[in-house]
Chain A
Amino acid sequence: MSETPLEKIRNIGITAHIDAGKTTTTERILYYTGVSHKIGEVHDGNTTTDYMEQERERGITITSAAVTCEWKDHRINIIDTPGHIDFNIEVNRSLRVLDGAVFIIEGVAGVQPQSETNWRLADRYNVPRLIFINKLDRTGADFYRAFDTLKEKLDIVALPLQLPIGSEDQFVGIIDLVEMKAIIWEGGELGAKYHDAPIPADLAEKAKEYRQTLLDTALSVDDAAMEEYFESGDVAVETLKRCIKAGTISGAFRPVLCGTAFKNKGVQPLLDAVLDYLPSPVDIPGIKIAAEEGEDEHTERRRIKADPNAPFAGLAFKIINDKYGTLTFVRVYAGTLRSGDTVLNTTRDHKERIGRMFQMHADKRAEIKEVSAGDIAAFVGLKDTMTGDTLAAASDPVVLERMAFPVPVIDISVEPRTKESVEKMTIGLQKLAGEDPSLRLRTDQESGQTILSGMGELHLEIIIDRLKREYGVEANIGAPQVAYRETITRPHTELYTHKKQSGGSGQYAEVKVVFEPMERNGGIVFENKVVGGAVPREYIPAVEKGIRVQAETGVLAGFPTVDFKYTLVDGKYHDVDSSALAFEIAAKACFREGMKKASPIILEPIMDVEITTPQDHVGDVVGDINRRRGMIQNQESSSSTIIVRAHVPLKEMFGYISDLRSMTKGRASFTMQFHHYDPVPRNIADEIMAKSA
């Protein structure tokens, strides 16, 4: 597997808004690089990367799929990601472990809401990017207008490396501004045939103008290149490419390419650009190690360089359970690993023995014997490694920078159709939740119901469908509910004594706990301040666990309690009657009593909603958002449509799509994603509590 030298490896992702053409582009890449012998189409349900049944039925990507291909003596590992916001975890984890990305936008609509979200995600992980303006064959496609939306919406220095020749159904090829030539596709043979040509006369002026912008922008990152330019009034192609690569990696500018994946034009130059401008594992500064607790996220920390001879370090970024067992996908940052080796899971602090190793091609796999820095492989046989965990050599047990996971905001209750499948359902859901950090599973302490939290209705629908197909469990689900949270607003100290000492072996435990509010997203923090053994050491974990478990079911309406700190400050025990169980029970009761006195409140998810509506319906749309307790953030017009951006409580957005359609005669559309949690107003809190009682 590691025949290819590091400089000739590219690990890239393809990311975009829904339906921009990621899977279609990936499919072309596999065809032109000779991996597949025929082009699959999303609408025929036969693409390589959309291999799940649900993906093929629906024509959308749900899970990210990795494929590998060879192009001009280089190896490119590609991850095709989904565009739908419900599956954003897939984009998140892919961008986290990739060295570069191809960012697709549509030639008709330009930058769309999900492109923006994914762009910011790539910013967070500092991923170098190429932009591909796709679908130039479509009626209404306009390269220049789509290009303008890059500057407007993303506020970036977008730098065209190509210009289109012709448009819509007359789109025949591109002008390559680096080499100043035209590339024309001949039609037929699925776009495999193309040739160079002189730049068409009617585009000569435009090409010159854009070439000058390219030189002005690209050369400014490299003084030697500037000098070369001053010498001769131009630079060698190699010099220009070197500058474009440097600027792409540093993010000084973002190169823009174009084409139509569906009509098979522009994909090969895109592959060339991936080799020329996106970094190999050795071109990047290396991955940062995680911040120590309390340390600022942004401080400069040690980086792990891609070196196959260094101690091993890798990040588990994806887990799949299939009929052969659990596959753990790992991006290797340093060192070399052979099957049979033992490494440390430094996140959870235990050893893992590496069983078999595979290189993955969508759902097919090829066994490999070793894997080294720069590569991505799937391991079998890891016992307890979750998404985001670091695996490292015992000689240098680093913890790599963690991943951030999206917040699940929709709850449904799940119940198996038959009593016998309760256990099967629990196992299935636990496995699915193990694969997907944006899916959470909990049991309501009072009703005993299993509650599943996910990113949206589509996400949960797919999970229930997978439960049926992959685990053979038919489940009934409740109506989707808002995933409320509870928290406290005031510190409170609670003393609780648990005592059952009437004959036989008794139970005794006393705990004194300080509950304090933390800032939003602060999580749950435990501190032990017991002195002099008032609570014996061995019982402390029981206290910690008791409160953590009980916090899953808040005191107001049974929603998980978040963002608080609890400190065990004192307690009492009995030589004979105390036990871990007694302390756990005491801790749980202490939480229930204490929380009530710490001014608890209910939090609701507030969504960032973006509505695209024709001009003549703006009034209705805005009025309706106000009725839904929404706060308009801004309004922007682009040609004949208006984009309204608002923060609206998720509760008020149920069924919005049909209301919006009838309000605008089907002409408006919207997208939304989680933004933050806010306290719910009094009357709504009462409503929620009444319902849960």
Chain B
Amino acid sequence: MPTPRLHWMRGRRDEEGGEARTLEWIGCDDAGAAIARVVRLQGPLHTNWRLYQAVALDTEARVVQLRPPPPAGADWLAYIGGQVVGRAALPLQAVRTAEAALGAG
């Protein structure tokens, strides 16, 4: 297992329903700059009387609609610099995807 090259920290959390779950992990470089994010997809989601099947949130927590929606089970998005570089069912897999993309790029 390759040692992660980024430092991953908890990002946004969802405190609803009494149970907190992390919706986002942020990968920083050694200088502490955010390089990559893995984000849990949400949806279906109602905002402003619109229904989104699958959404992610951008860095300002605005809704980003995804088209087409990801296959069932691929609940985590790996982002680098606002670009989606992969999707995975589990957060650790998405982290690996992001790091692999960094390594390749």
Which of A210-218, A444-452, A471-479, A622-630 forms contacts with chain B? A210-218
Q: How far is the CB of A538 from chain B (nearest CB, A)?
A: 52
Interface contact B1-A212, CB-CB below 8 Å: yes
Checking A220, A227, A233 against B3 with a beta-carbon cut-off of 8 angstroms, the contacting residue is A233
A313 proximal to B (CB < 8 A): no
Interface contact B93-A216, CB-CB below 8 Å: yes
Interface contact B92-A216, CB-CB below 8 Å: yes
Interface contact A215-B10, CB-CB below 8 Å: no
Chain A residues whose CB sits within 8 angstroms of the CB of B8 once the complex forms? 226-227, 230
Interface contact B92-A226, CB-CB below 8 Å: yes
Checking A208, A220, A233, A234 against B91 with a beta-carbon cut-off of 8 angstroms, the contacting residue is A220
Interface contact A233-B1, CB-CB below 8 Å: yes
A85 proximal to B (CB < 8 A): no
B101 proximal to A (CB < 8 A): no
Interface contact B10-A217, CB-CB below 8 Å: no
Instruction: Kindly identify, within residues 1 to 31 of chain B, every residue whose CB is under 8 Å from any CB belonging to chain A.
Output: 1, 3-4, 7-10, 21-22, 25
Closest to B4 in A: A230
Interface residues on A, range: 10 to 19
Q: How far is the CB of B67 from chain A (nearest CB, A)?
A: 26
What is the interface of chain A, defined by CB distance below 8 A to chain B?
208, 212, 215-217, 219-220, 223, 226-227, 229-230, 233-234
Chain B residues whose CB sits within 8 angstroms of the CB of A229 once the complex forms? 92
Bound-state Cα–Cα, A220 to B95, Å: 12
Bound-state Cα–Cα, A234 to B21, Å: 21
B90 proximal to A (CB < 8 A): yes
Q: How far is the CB of A233 from chain B (nearest CB, A)?
A: 5
Interface contact B25-A226, CB-CB below 8 Å: yes
Q: Given the known inter-chain contacts A230-B4, A233-B1, please indicate yes or no for A220 contacting B92, CB distance below 8 A.
A: yes
Q: How far is the CB of B42 from chain A (nearest CB, A)?
A: 16
Bound-state Cα–Cα, A230 to B95, Å: 10
Q: Given the known inter-chain contacts A227-B10, A230-B7, A230-B8, please indicate yes or no for A219 contacting B92, CB distance below 8 A.
A: yes
Q: Given the known inter-chain contacts A223-B10, A223-B22, A227-B10, please indicate yes or no for A217 contacting B90, CB distance below 8 A.
A: yes
Bound-state Cα–Cα, A482 to B96, Å: 60
Chain A residues whose CB sits within 8 angstroms of the CB of B10 once the complex forms? 223, 227
Closest to A211 in B: B1
Interface contact B92-A233, CB-CB below 8 Å: no
Instruction: Kindly identify, within residues 34 to 91 of chain B, every residue whose CB is under 8 Å from any CB belonging to chain A.
Output: 90-91
Closest to B76 in A: A220
Q: Given the known inter-chain contacts A226-B25, A227-B10, A230-B8, please indicate yes or no for A215 contacting B3, CB distance below 8 A.
A: no
Chain B residues whose CB sits within 8 angstroms of the CB of A234 once the complex forms? 1
Q: Main SS of chain A's interface residues?
A: helix
Q: How far is the CB of B8 from chain A (nearest CB, A)?
A: 4
Bound-state Cα–Cα, A219 to B91, Å: 9
Chain B residues whose CB sits within 8 angstroms of the CB of A216 once the complex forms? 90, 92-93
Bound-state Cα–Cα, A212 to B2, Å: 12
Chain B residues whose CB sits within 8 angstroms of the CB of A226 once the complex forms? 8, 22, 25, 91-92
Q: How far is the CB of B103 from chain A (nearest CB, A)?
A: 16
Bound-state Cα–Cα, A536 to B24, Å: 69
Bound-state Cα–Cα, A227 to B93, Å: 14
Chain A residues whose CB sits within 8 angstroms of the CB of B9 once the complex forms? 227
Bound-state Cα–Cα, A230 to B22, Å: 15
Q: Given the known inter-chain contacts A230-B8, A233-B3, please indicate yes or no for A215 contacting B92, CB distance below 8 A.
A: yes
Closest to B1 in A: A233
Q: How far is the CB of B41 from chain A (nearest CB, A)?
A: 14
Bound-state Cα–Cα, A610 to B4, Å: 50
Bound-state Cα–Cα, A226 to B40, Å: 15
Closest to A212 in B: B1
Chain B residues whose CB sits within 8 angstroms of the CB of A217 once the complex forms? 90
Bound-state Cα–Cα, A227 to B27, Å: 12
Chain B residues whose CB sits within 8 angstroms of the CB of A220 once the complex forms? 90-92
Chain B residues whose CB sits within 8 angstroms of the CB of A227 once the complex forms? 8-10
Closest to B75 in A: A220
Q: How far is the CB of A213 from chain B (nearest CB, A)?
A: 9
Interface centre among B9, B90, B91, B93 (most CB of A within 10 A): B90
Q: How far is the CB of B29 from chain A (nearest CB, A)?
A: 14
Chain B residues whose CB sits within 8 angstroms of the CB of A219 once the complex forms? 92
Chain A residues whose CB sits within 8 angstroms of the CB of B95 once the complex forms? 230
Bound-state Cα–Cα, A98 to B68, Å: 44
Chain A residues whose CB sits within 8 angstroms of the CB of B3 once the complex forms? 233
Known contacts A227-B8, A234-B1; can you find 4 more A-B pairs with CB under 8 A? Answer: A216-B90, A223-B21, A227-B9, A229-B92
Bound-state Cα–Cα, A234 to B4, Å: 11
Closest to B10 in A: A223
Bound-state Cα–Cα, A98 to B59, Å: 46
Closest to B19 in A: A250
Chain A residues whose CB sits within 8 angstroms of the CB of B22 once the complex forms? 223, 226
Bound-state Cα–Cα, A234 to B93, Å: 14
Q: How far is the CB of A489 from chain B (nearest CB, A)?
A: 40
Q: How far is the CB of A227 from chain B (nearest CB, A)?
A: 7
User: Nearest 7 CB-CB pairs, A to B?
Assistant: A216-B92, A230-B8, A216-B90, A223-B22, A220-B90, A233-B3, A220-B91
Bound-state Cα–Cα, A208 to B2, Å: 12
Bound-state Cα–Cα, A229 to B7, Å: 11
Bound-state Cα–Cα, A234 to B7, Å: 14
Bound-state Cα–Cα, A230 to B3, Å: 9
Bound-state Cα–Cα, A223 to B20, Å: 10
Interface centre among B3, B10, B92 (most CB of A within 10 A): B92
Q: Can you report 7 residue pairs joining A to B where beta carbons are below 8 Å apart? A: A217-B90, A220-B90, A223-B21, A226-B8, A227-B9, A229-B92, A233-B3
Bound-state Cα–Cα, A216 to B91, Å: 7
Closest to B91 in A: A220
Closest to A232 in B: B3
Bound-state Cα–Cα, A215 to B3, Å: 14
